[in-house]
Structures are given as C-alpha cells and as structure tokens.
C-alpha cells in the first residue's frame, strides 16, 4: 500500500506519517525543504522521540520523499492509496493544483482503485475546503472520475508536536507527546476504510472536531496569551502558574458547556477530558514556546476558529463567556514582530480601534453587546498588563 503525505515537517513526520508507516504503508513525503527531502530520500528512515510518563525513541522506516512542486509527485499521486496533508491551512491552496493535475494523470493511467484524501489540519472541515480548491482547477473531463473513485475525508487531529529540541543536529529527528487522536468521517470514504492503528472512524465528526477545537486549541491559545502577558516563555511555565491555570480551565469549562448543550456530552466525562488536556500542557518533556502557540492571531480570531466559535456558542445557549473574552483580549495584546498576522492585527487595530477590528476579523456585529463586553475586557486587561493573569 502506498501513501503520499504533503508536509514533511514535525507534525507530518511525528504524527500522520508515523501512523501510516506503522500501519504498513510505504510513505512518500512531499515538501519544498530540500534538506529534509534529501535526507528522507537518502536514509528512508527517521527517529521519533515519544514523551509522556516515560520517554522512548522509535524508528520510522519504509519512507522516502520528493519535492512537492516536482513532476515526481504527480507519479506518486497516480499510484497512491491514501493521500494526507499536514501543511497548515494557508498552504492547502498551493497543493490543490498539484492534486488536480495528479488526479487527471491518475485517470489517464487507468487506475480506478479507490483513493482517499485526508487533510490533517487545525481547521474545521479542512478536507472539504481542499476538495473545493481541487475541483475549481480540476479538468472538466476528470470530474466524473474523481466523484466516483476519490474520497475527500474530513478529520480531526490532536497531538502536540513542539519544535526540535535545542541542540538537535538531526534534521529528521522529531519529538511528540504520547497522546494522539486522529478521527475521520467514515461516511466520506471511497471504497473500504483503510485499517490504520490510531485512526478512529466516526459518523459524527463535528462533535469531535469541536471538542478538540474548543478544548485543546482554545485552552492552548489562552495559555499562550496569558503566559505572554506574564512574561512566561513556554506553555509548561505558563500552565504551572496556578492563577493562569485556573483561568485557562475556566475558559475550557465555558467552551465545554457549549459542547455539552450541543452534542449531549457527559459533563463528568468532559471534565475529565479537560483535566487530561491540562496535564498535557504541563508535560515536562515538551518545550513549547508561547510565541509558537500564539502566532497567527488573525486566523485564530476567525468566526470558525478557537476563540470566536465557542464564544458564539455561549451566545447561542445563553452561557457564561468571561474567560473566552479574556482570550480575545489576549489576542489583541499579543505582539510579535516576527509574525506577519500579529503585525497586521496591531496595525489595523491602531487605525480602526477595538470594536471595528474585532468585527472585521471575527465576523461579529460591531454594535453588539458582546463586542462591547470584549472591548471592556480588553481595556481592563490592558490597564494592568503585569497582572493580566491575576
């Protein structure tokens, strides 16, 4: 069995690529990083350090790599049984034309075996978004072939994969936490579901997508912003501050109340899930900087993302949201000159003010009560920046 994975970064190698290789697939990574591509093609293996209560290093084998903008990747598409991505939501539009061209070549080659494409990104229904991009540039004569033989499968993924350890010299080495979750929409597959240990099929994907988004992603981001305001460098340092931890937990409980209302989650089980996520943030083996987690605040203020979507849920069900508003304030107070989105947000904010900026990026009504409440929270937090987490 053959798998093609776009994105040979830490998440690609440490999470999805590893699960595919462990399941017996020959995995071809596609990337534009020549150093990584060359190393994978030459060594056809790489080490993954898995850290939790213990630490173990496992070798991932039966892999290779090609450049994602080369002709070679098109040939891989014609023969693949599964195609996955971990490139970041903003990069999907760049691989869509390659997928479209490769699918047309697959048709021309006469390969009618089922193919499933799964975008493993931190976004809601990322594969559906990728499908729309592919169909937009797919040759018209290939549309019926793709509709019959290609499944575009939405998924929810969850694994903390920090940057490489300081001083690490192996370009392929990657560290991951022991916890992982890869949930796929079983209703979208073409042909039989592939058997991949660690991939869990469901017919209610959105419940799990939002559980992860509202809990792991929301909590992670608010930890980063409160940590940033308190001068912490890492997520672990931030969550070990009891005051920050209490506020993060309160925000996750606010978003969790939405999930309980919307999907009928068991309150006690969800409280245990929150507790598990908080423990993951404090994993002593993971060094995850607040700047990495807090970056791209514009994307994270989007209507379908980790701050605004749970906030809108609290409005829908009439639930508390004070700590989610604190997270929004944190996004406005976060400054990082090396992050283009952080720079853009501050520039727009300086020109237009809080209400118009939040409405612009979050899709909220500038005149609404919730935007006024968010501004009040921002002003209160900004007035005491050293005590923002107190």
Q: Is 354 annotated as a binding residue?
A: no
Q: Is 9 annotated as a binding residue?
A: yes
Residues 384, 225 contacting (CB under 8 angstroms): no
In which residue are the tokens 């949201």 written?
321
Residues 255, 307 contacting (CB under 8 angstroms): no
In which residue are the tokens 């409405």 written?
359
Nearest in space to 290 (alpha carbons), one of 326, 343, 331: 331
Q: Helix, strand or coil for residue 118?
A: strand
Q: Is 11 annotated as a binding residue?
A: yes
Instruction: Give the CA count within 13 Å in the CB-facing half-sphere of 11.
Output: 17
Q: Is 10 annotated as a binding residue?
A: yes
In which residue are the tokens 């979507």 written?
309
Beta pairing class for 181-185 and 199-202: parallel
Angle of CA points 356, 357, 362, to nearest 5°: 105
Residue 327, judged by CB atoms within 10 A of its CB (0-12, 13-18, 19+), counts as buried
Residues 17, 83 contacting (CB under 8 angstroms): no
Task: Tell me the backbone φ, ψ of residue 110, rounded to 5 degrees.
Answer: 85, 10
Q: Which residues are annotated as a binding site?
A: 3-14
Q: Which residues are annotated as a binding site for NAD(+)?
A: 3-14
């Amino acid at each position: 069995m053959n798998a093609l994975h776009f994105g040979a970064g830490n998440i690609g190698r440490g999470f999805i690529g590893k699960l595919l290789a462990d399941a017996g697939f020959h995995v071809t990574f596609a990337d534009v990083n020549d150093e990584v591509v060359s190393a994978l093609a030459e060594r056809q293996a790489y080490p993954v350090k898995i850290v939790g209560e213990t630490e173990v290093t496992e070798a991932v084998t039966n892999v290779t790599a090609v450049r994602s903008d080369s002709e070679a990747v098109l040939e891989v598409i014609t023969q693949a049984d599964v195609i996955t991505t971990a490139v970041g939501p903003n990069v999907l539009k760049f691989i869509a034309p390659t997928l479209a061209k490769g699918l047309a070549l697959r048709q021309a080659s006469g390969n009618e075996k089922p193919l499933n494409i799964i975008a493993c990104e931190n976004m809601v229904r990322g594969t559906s978004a990728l499908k729309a991009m592919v169909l937009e540039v797919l040759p018209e004569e290939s549309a019926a072939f793709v509709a019959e033989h290609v499944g575009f499968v939405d998924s929810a993924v969850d694994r903390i994969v920090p940057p490489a350890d300081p001083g690490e010299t192996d370009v392929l080495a990657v560290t991951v936490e022991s916890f992982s979750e890869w949930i796929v929409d079983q209703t979208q597959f073409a042909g039989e579901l592939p058997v991949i240990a660690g991939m869990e099929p469901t017919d209610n994907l959105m419940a799990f997508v939002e559980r992860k988004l509202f809990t792991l992603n929301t909590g992670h981001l608010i930890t980063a912003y409160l940590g940033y305001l308190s001068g912490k460098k890492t997520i672990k340092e931030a969550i070990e501050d009891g005051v920050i931890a209490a506020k993060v937990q309160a925000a996750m409980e606010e978003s969790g109340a939405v999930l309980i209302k919307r999907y009928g989650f068991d309150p006690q089980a969800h409280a245990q899930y929150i507790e598990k996520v908080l423990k993951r943030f404090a994993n002593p083996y993971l060094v995850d900087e607040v700047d990495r987690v807090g970056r791209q605040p514009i994307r994270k203020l989007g209507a379908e993302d980790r701050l605004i979507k749970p906030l809108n849920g609290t409005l829908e069900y009439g639930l508390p949201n004070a700590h989610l508003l604190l997270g929004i304030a944190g996004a406005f107070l976060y400054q990082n000159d090396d992050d283009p989105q952080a720079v853009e947000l501050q520039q727009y904010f300086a020109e237009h003010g809080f209400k118009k900026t939040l409405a612009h990026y979050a899709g909220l009504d500038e005149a609404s009560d919730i935007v006024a409440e968010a501004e009040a929270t921002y002003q209160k937090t900004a007035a005491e920046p050293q005590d923002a987490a107190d």
